[in-house]
Amino acid sequence: MSNEKRLAGEAAIRYVEDGGIVGVGTGSTVAFFIDALADLKDRIQGAVSSSEQSTAQLKRVGIPVLDLNATGPLSIYVDGADECDPYKRLIKGGGAALTREKIIAAASARFVCIIDSSKRVELLGKFPLPIEVIPMARSLVGREIVKRGGNPVWRDGVVTDNGNWVIDVHGWQIADPVALEKDLNQIPGIVTVGLFAQRAADVVLIGDREM
Ligand SMILES: O=C[C@H](O)[C@H](O)[C@H](O)COP(=O)(O)O
């Protein structure tokens, strides 16, 4: 699978425009994209990063890391996913970077999602759905998830880049991801739901093939 991840990371380069600013996601697939982007670093202004992990790699390869508040809207965002359905709706957050990822995706005109074939599913939910929560709301959010038939598991020991905690929800087969995303977004204490359904990907690359 890591060969497909590398191919996807390299294939995403063809969507990067000269002189532009690139939104950069997080994870092992994105790491291949950043390595490929390093070869073009003199042709872009820089990148907006979704995590401390990606920021460190971007700086290491000499790509300037810019502040989203200063750049304004971006033309492109490149990121991986944990699951992707036929409508390019995603589960993300396996690496706990979902909040900043969702912010940059929302600020970008085009979301290019890079995955290997194991991430492609008919129905989202086999991968436990990550939810970032304010720490004091962990139990409240857990009870709300149980009411909705899910099995919440606290990702003990993990603190997000925003100082919050992550709950992974097992046992949901997500037939209507847009409705679930909207519903969960109403629960106090939830910062970000790892469903990218209201704002799905625009392009999905599985290895070097477009879905
Ligand atoms: O929080 C992490 C992100 O949503 C990643 O994009 C996702 O977990 C996929 O990561 P990887 O490319 O390592 O499988």
Average pLDDT of the residues in 171-186? 98
Ligand 1 centre to CA of 154 (Å) is 18
Domain match, 50 and 136 both = no
Q: What is the CATH number of the domain that holds 206?
A: 3.40.50.1360
Domain match, 137 and 179 both = yes
Burial class (CB in 10 A: 0-12, 13-18, 19+), 72: exposed
Ligand 1 centre to CA of 79 (Å) is 8
Mutate to test the pocket of ligand 1, among 10, 30, 121 (most ligand atoms within 8 A of CB): 30
Average pLDDT of the residues in 78-90? 98
- Each residue's pLDDT tens digit, 140-161: 999 999 999 999 999 999 999 9
Boundaries of domain holding 20: 2-121+199-210
Whether 1 shows a pLDDT value over 90: the answer reads no
Position 165, amino acid: W
Cα→Cα distances 203→7, 47, 154, 155, 161, Å: 15, 19, 32, 30, 27
Domain match, 30 and 103 both = yes
Residue 180 φ/ψ, nearest 5 degrees: -65, -40
- Give the SS3 label for residue 197: coil
**Nearest CA owner, ligand 1 atom 6:** 80
ipTM, 2 dp: 0.97
- Structural domain count, the chain: 2
Domain match, 10 and 105 both = yes
Q: Give dist(CA 35, CA 6) in Å, integer.
A: 10
193 versus 2: the higher-pLDDT residue is 193
Domain match, 134 and 108 both = no
Average pLDDT of the residues in 164-175? 97
**Nearest CA owner, ligand 1 atom 9:** 81
Q: What is the CATH number of the domain that holds 144?
A: 3.30.70.260
Domain match, 97 and 51 both = yes
Cα→Cα distances 2→7, 19, 37, 42, Å: 9, 30, 18, 27
pLDDT at 73: 97
Domain match, 101 and 155 both = no
Is the beta carbon of 9 within 6 A of some atom in ligand 1? Answer: no
Q: Which atom of ligand 1 is nearest to the CA of 92?
A: 4
pLDDT at 126: 98
Sign of CA dihedral 126, 128, 130, 134: positive
Is the beta carbon of 80 within 6 A of some atom in ligand 1? Answer: yes
Which residues are known binding-site members?
26-29, 79-82, 92-95, 119
- Each residue's pLDDT tens digit, 8-58: 999 999 999 999 999 999 999 999 999 999 999 999 999 999 999 999 999
pLDDT at 22: 98
